[in-house]
Structure 1
Amino acid sequence: MTQTEEKKTGNGTKFKKVRSILLKIIGAIVIAIVLFLGIVYITNVISTNSEQKRIEPYGQHVSVDGKNMNVLIQGEGEETIVLLPGFGTATPALDFKLLIDELSPFYKVVAVEPFGYGLSDGTEKERTTENIVGEVHEALQQLNINRYMLMGHSIAGIYGIDYVSKYRNEVTAFVGIDSSVPTQPGMDVKLPIKKLELLKKSGLLRMMMKLGADPYASLAFDDKTVEQMKMISYKSMNNDTILNEMGHISSNFKGAHDLTFPKDLPLLLFVQANNEGIKEWIPLHEGQVKDSVHGKVITMDGSHYLHHTKFKEIAENVRAFMKEAK
């Protein structure tokens, strides 16, 4: 064998060794990933089953479309406030707890958990504004609640404006907590619903939530409430009903585009003062109240969830506003 042939043979042997090592490394990485995903999935299943037994019921079930909708009622005031959550708020009645505690000495407060949220059942019915509004109204009818102030957070501004247009004779006022506006920009984007569904089913969503910042840190919630909210969040986040609602966000905003609140309806809007995502956030809300006979915008420093930190101020301003509106 010539020197050249020996060199080629040696190089070939080295290449085979390197290739073999690389294949082993790649195989080990693949096995590690599969094992990791398997552990994450199994942990999620076990944790979900365990937490399901530790979730404590609250509120009461109301039959709507043959399913159970959970509603929490607190307080015995002559006037009633109906609370509606923002999109994706996993445990509405508990999320509103700090505000409910401030309002309930003066009002009868009714926190509705739409299908897919909190302790309510899920549903296969499309999450259009029409269906969501109709279901909430049916729940209130079942409870013989026929006259009330409607108060809603975030996307409840879209459902609320439609609700008022349908049931104006029942609603005494609308109060928005950093509520959505039909004409706000950026609501026509396509959302990665399939990816979010995969995150939920694989258990990766739970892991991300556990590793992420605690959303309740430094807030006034007691430890037991925080524990319950977290367990229900793991259960409810990105469920099929909420993902269906996500898929309808763009069309629901489009459907509300030309709707306005009635001029004679008292309209109070609490608005985040420092919304960096939408520069015209405050003017958009000012535009909603400009033609109201009794309308007011109150800006507040805080996160989108203003009721987590400004619950006392919100309750005080609601009471003062409604006294002025009479």
Structure 2
Amino acid sequence: MTQTEKIKTRNGTQSKKARNILLKTIGAIVITIVLFLAIVYTVNIISSNSEQRRIESYGQHVSVDVKNMNVLIQGEGQETIVLLPGFGTAAPALDFKLLIDELSLFYKVVAVEPFGYGLSDGTEKERSTENIVGEVHEALQQLNINRYMLMGHSIAGIYGINYVNKYPNEVTAFVGIDSSVPTQPGMDVKFPLKKLEFLKKSGLLRMMTKLGADPYSSLSFVDKTVEQMKMISNKNMNNDTTLNEMDHISSNFIEAHDLTFPKDLPLLLFVQANNEVVKGWIPLHEGQIKDSVHGKVITMDGSHYLHHTKFKEIAENVRAFMKEAK
């Protein structure tokens, strides 16, 4: 064998060794990833089954479209407030608890958990505004609740503006808690639904939530309520019903674009003072009340979930506002 052939043989052997090492490394990485995902998936299944048994019932079930919608009623006041959650609030009746405790001293408070939320069933019906509003209204009809203030957080501003125009003889006022505005920018976004579904079903979403910051750490909720909210969040986050609602967000905003609140409807809007995400957040809300006979915008320092920290102030201002409106 010539020197040149020896060099070629040696180089070929080295290349083969390097290739084998590379293939083994890639194989080890793939096996590690598969094992990791398998462990995460298994932990999620076991944890979900365990948590399902530990979730405690609250409120009552109302039959809507042959499904159960959960509704919590607290307080015995002569006037009624119906609470609607923002998108993705996994356990609305518990999330609103601090505010409900304040409002229920003076009002009958009805916290509705739409399909896919809290302890309500899921549904295969499209999550259009029309369907969501109709289902909430049917639940109230089943409970013989026919006259009430409508109070909603976040995207409930979109459903609420449709609701008050559809049922003007029932709603006595609308109160928004950092509520969405039909004309706000950036709502034509397309969400990665398949990726979100994968995160849910794979268990990665549970892991990410576990490793993330505790959203309740500095709030006034008791430990038991926090534990229940976390378990219900693990159950409901990115479920089929809320993913369908997410898919309809853009079309629901477009549908509401030209809607306005009735001029004679008392309109109170609590608005986050330092929203750095949506341009012109406060002016957008001021535009909603400009033609109202009795409208008011109150800005508050805090997160989008103003009712987590400003529950006392919200309750006090609602009472004062409604006295003025009479």
Establish whether TM, by shorter chain, passes 0.5. Answer: yes
Is residue 148–residue 170 contact of structure 2 (8 Å, CA) maintained in 1? yes
Q: Which residue of 1 aligns with 2:115?
A: 115
Is residue 185–residue 279 contact of structure 2 (8 Å, CA) maintained in 1? no
Alignment of 1:27-176 (within 5 A): 27-176=27-176
> What is the Cα deviation at residue 180 of structure 1?
0.2
Q: Which runs of 5+ in 2 are unaligned?
A: none
> What is the Cα deviation at residue 279 of structure 1?
2.4
CA distance in structure 1 between the aligned counterparts of 2:158 and 2:296, rounded to whole angstroms: 18
CA distance in structure 1 between the aligned counterparts of 2:76 and 2:278, rounded to whole angstroms: 39
Q: Which residue of 2 aligns with 1:299?
A: 299
State the AA in 2 paired with 1:25: T
> What is the Cα deviation at residue 4 of structure 1?
1.1
Alignment of 1:239-278 (within 5 A): 239-278=239-278
State the AA in 1 paired with 2:210: K
Q: Give the % identical residues.
A: 87
CA distance in structure 1 between the aligned counterparts of 2:33 and 2:314, rounded to whole angstroms: 48
CA distance in structure 1 between the aligned counterparts of 2:5 and 2:128, rounded to whole angstroms: 74
Deviation string for 1:223-267 (max 9, x for gaps)? 000000000000000000000000000000000001000000000
Deviation string for 1:105-151 (max 9, x for gaps)? 10000000000000000000000000000000000000000000000
CA distance in structure 2 between the aligned counterparts of 1:88 and 1:42, rounded to whole angstroms: 25
State the AA in 2 paired with 1:289: I
Alignment of 1:169-184 (within 5 A): 169-184=169-184
State the AA in 2 paired with 1:175: V
CA distance in structure 2 between the aligned counterparts of 1:66 and 1:278, rounded to whole angstroms: 39
State the AA in 2 paired with 1:203: G
Alignment of 1:190-269 (within 5 A): 190-269=190-269
Segments ≥4 residues shifted beyond 6 Å: none
Q: Secondary structure at the match of 1:151?
A: strand
> What is the Cα deviation at residue 88 of structure 1?
0.5
Residue correspondences, number: 326
Q: Secondary structure at the match of 1:83?
A: strand
Q: Secondary structure at the match of 2:116?
A: coil
Q: Secondary structure at the match of 1:58?
A: coil
State the AA in 2 paired with 1:145: I
Normalising by structure 2, what TM-score? 1.00
CA distance in structure 2 between the aligned counterparts of 1:279 and 1:314, rounded to whole angstroms: 24
CA distance in structure 1 between the aligned counterparts of 2:253 and 2:18, rounded to whole angstroms: 58
> What is the Cα deviation at residue 278 of structure 1?
1.4
- Over aligned residues, Cα RMSD in angstroms? 0.4
Q: Which residue of 1 aligns with 2:279?
A: 279
Q: Which runs of 5+ in 1 are unaligned?
A: none
CA distance in structure 1 between the aligned counterparts of 2:181 and 2:279, rounded to whole angstroms: 13
State the AA in 2 paired with 1:295: G
CA distance in structure 2 between the aligned counterparts of 1:279 and 1:131, rounded to whole angstroms: 30
Normalising by structure 1, what TM-score? 1.00
> What is the Cα deviation at residue 2 of structure 1?
1.1
